[in-house]
Structure 1
């Protein structure tokens, strides 16, 4: 090891004495404390950090992945200690953290390998406390604020999303039964899986809350004979969905409206919401499920597909909240079901998809990387770095962290769906949902 290289184990005792006697520069003290944290955190691979003074610090047992990064801004070690997620994301965006070997995905894989160590760090604990203290303001989304939050993320160029999404523009967790599916295959299977749980029949009225670019709504109309109303607050998405419905000849069976779900006054046989509940905010849970209860007909069925967390309480990541999804809140399964139960509806089925979104995000990252130059021409280099970080850090949150996706099926009547889950696989295998819903399968379960 050269004179410019420091092993955290070798240097801690000497440098601790310098800190105590006041002979240690504040920036150096922050790097020393960051190294102490990383020594506990890095449990696999090899991470080398060149600090702002050029000294190298080595962490991890060795092997792959192996990553080297250079910090070029003197305040950065202190910022990484105080708010790791926000500082790391911003440093990558601004170029004050440069990856000299390895990849961003490798770096985030190493950094998320021990989430318990991250959560126990003083900076993260303080951020979590402040988030809890300010939860009402951070995650409260009245209609006017919901419009602004949606516009921030979804009213950007549709061309950007076409760079990395599947052909149907499904911007939510795909479904990988074997793990070998292509992205387009997995997104098609996701739609099929949801349709099976909804037991769609021709002529049913369906409400799609958060309908995106309209792919799910149009499939319900085209393949299942349903009449679908899609709701979105995004001007870009509504325009694209209406245009697509017109081109497909489905305008008579699918309508897309730019309005908040709380303003809905219709009555429906089925309600579906995919990837939208994360934007409701904790204070809006009761209003969301009360709306589902109000718009569902007596024999109706609803399906909510959302990102959740197995952490003790829900919340949001500081960097994601600032740059990607303002107002977002990732709920726990327990607080979501409690809110559903308060609405008076039955929870008739729950499924937890754990690594499916990690695989979805991996595909998105690879597609975005292949089209990065086009994205840079649409926006700029800093935007590309932001988007790269977004896709990669979210993948690792699902792969190594506490995030997952859940699907909750709800009904007003306890017998609105069959009494066992066998029907889901049967519908996916090609049996008619209409046949399964006529009563034969219900009687077998009784």
Structure 2
């Protein structure tokens, strides 16, 4: 079996048994001990596709039920492959796919105003109930901040909002712009805790409806408003700008355009906090399956290409923090919650078995990518002037202590 021969060369840790379409088992044992998983391939063509186009075929085959996992689940399989990813990525076919992605990435990440909205709608305008089945109560759909081992998802997301607020150095009455405002949680938090006026912009119709309703029901619609608008169409001047989990949808070809707009919108003494998924390696491409089914037009940038764009626009980078395993822990909570509510997703939200298998693969794959691969999260504090924030970082801890969070044991 071609797939078994390919994986036998790269499996250094753990044990994988592949049952082919004819029912024959192929047992692969790595040199180092590790988890043991059994996967079943239901058609001969699926086995060929998995060997030749693994980055697309694994997800599609699992979605279609042509690949199933025995003695475990899809996370166990992807976890095993993730532990061996360095060797897998060194194979000729995978190296070739990486090279092709680098060539095509500018086309794949082309996100002008209209196309950007369609890409956002693909993921964020799904049945609104879906997100209640795996996110925290505030619907924070981005990396949480775990200040202590074993912290709950709810608390870690509150701590994330406090951590970001501390870097914004907020003062009562300031005008804040939230680029990619989601379901409104960040904007509502900043307004409530720091007495600031917030404007949020989003391209998702569902998110806009929910966030606007939350502001109205909370009695703060006069100082927290949300617009269904591309950030490039926003005008005015803001004392602070925050953007959490939106930059991944900008695309490398638009980074200079993005920071040029930020500079235009930011007051002369203003501060911005950019929170985004990134990669700890040189620029590359987006996983083929993830781009096709989950985040069309999406891309996790290397710090080098983000900083180059900021430099071209002549903005100051006043602080950078890299969060490593925080997102792996966040997604672990999401994945477990989704599994608990899997039948409710089908019965209440109206999605079928193929959708649930797609979402399982998405969450499991993303967790593994943050746990073993090249993915991380960065926070960049940006300003027009070098004296816009204090010369030391003590003020961040002071704000977090005052607000109830002192990250004394931050997880990696």
Q: Which digits, 9 at most, give the CA deviation of each residue in 1:162-191, with x for residues without a partner? A: 000000000000001223210000000000
Query: What are the within-5 Å matches in structure 2 for residues 29-428 of structure 1?
Result: 31-32=1-2, 34-61=3-30, 64-377=34-347, 378-428=350-400
For 1:430, what is the secondary structure of its paired residue? helix
* Paired residues, number: 401
Q: Does the CA contact (< 8 Å) of 1:279 and 1:328 recur in 2? A: yes
Q: Which digits, 9 at most, give the CA deviation of each residue in 1:217-243, with x for residues without a partner? A: 001111100100000000000000000
Q: In structure 1, how many angstroms separate the alpha carbons of the residues matched to 2:9 and 2:258?
A: 41
Matched with 1:21 is none
> How far 1:128 moved relative to its partner?
1.8
Q: In structure 2, how many angstroms separate the alpha carbons of the residues matched to 1:325 and 1:364?
A: 17
Q: Does the CA contact (< 8 Å) of 2:128 and 2:206 recur in 1? A: yes
Runs of 5+ consecutive residues of structure 2 not aligned to the other structure:
405-412
CA RMSD of aligned residues (A): 1.3
> How far 1:122 moved relative to its partner?
2.2
Q: Which digits, 9 at most, give the CA deviation of each residue in 1:407-430, with x for residues without a partner? A: 000000101111111211111011
Q: Which digits, 9 at most, give the CA deviation of each residue in 1:69-124, with x for residues without a partner? A: 11011112221122212100011100110112112111101111132222222222
> How far 1:330 moved relative to its partner?
1.0
Q: Which digits, 9 at most, give the CA deviation of each residue in 1:348-407, with x for residues without a partner? A: 000000000000000000000000001122210000000000000000000010000000
Q: Does the CA contact (< 8 Å) of 2:4 and 2:18 recur in 1? A: no
Greater relative CO (CA pairs within 8 A, separation 6+): 2
For 1:389, what is the secondary structure of its paired residue? helix
> How far 1:64 moved relative to its partner?
4.7
For 1:316, what is the secondary structure of its paired residue? coil
Q: In structure 2, how many angstroms separate the alpha carbons of the residues matched to 1:406 and 1:314?
A: 17
| TM-score, normalising length: structure 1 | 0.88
Q: In structure 2, how many angstroms separate the alpha carbons of the residues matched to 1:192 and 1:314?
A: 32
Q: Which digits, 9 at most, give the CA deviation of each residue in 1:134-180, with x for residues without a partner? A: 22211110001001000000001110000000000000000012232
Runs of 4+ residues deviating >3 angstroms = 61-64
Q: In structure 1, how many angstroms separate the alpha carbons of the residues matched to 2:14 and 2:397?
A: 41
Matched with 1:3 is none
Q: In structure 1, how many angstroms separate the alpha carbons of the residues matched to 2:150 and 2:208?
A: 33
Q: In structure 1, how many angstroms separate the alpha carbons of the residues matched to 2:62 and 2:33?
A: 24
Matched with 2:409 is none
Note closer, same or farther for the CA distance 1:65–1:221 as it changes in structure 2 (3 Å cut).
same
> How far 1:341 moved relative to its partner?
1.3
73-82 or 282-291: which moved more? Answer: 73-82
Matched with 1:441 is none
For 2:44, what is the secondary structure of its paired residue? coil
Q: In structure 1, how many angstroms separate the alpha carbons of the residues matched to 2:6 and 2:373?
A: 18
Q: Does the CA contact (< 8 Å) of 1:65 and 1:102 recur in 2? A: no
| TM-score, normalising length: structure 2 | 0.95
The structure with the largest alpha-carbon Rg is 1
Q: Does the CA contact (< 8 Å) of 1:204 and 1:227 recur in 2? A: yes
Note closer, same or farther for the CA distance 1:58–1:419 as it changes in structure 2 (3 Å cut).
same
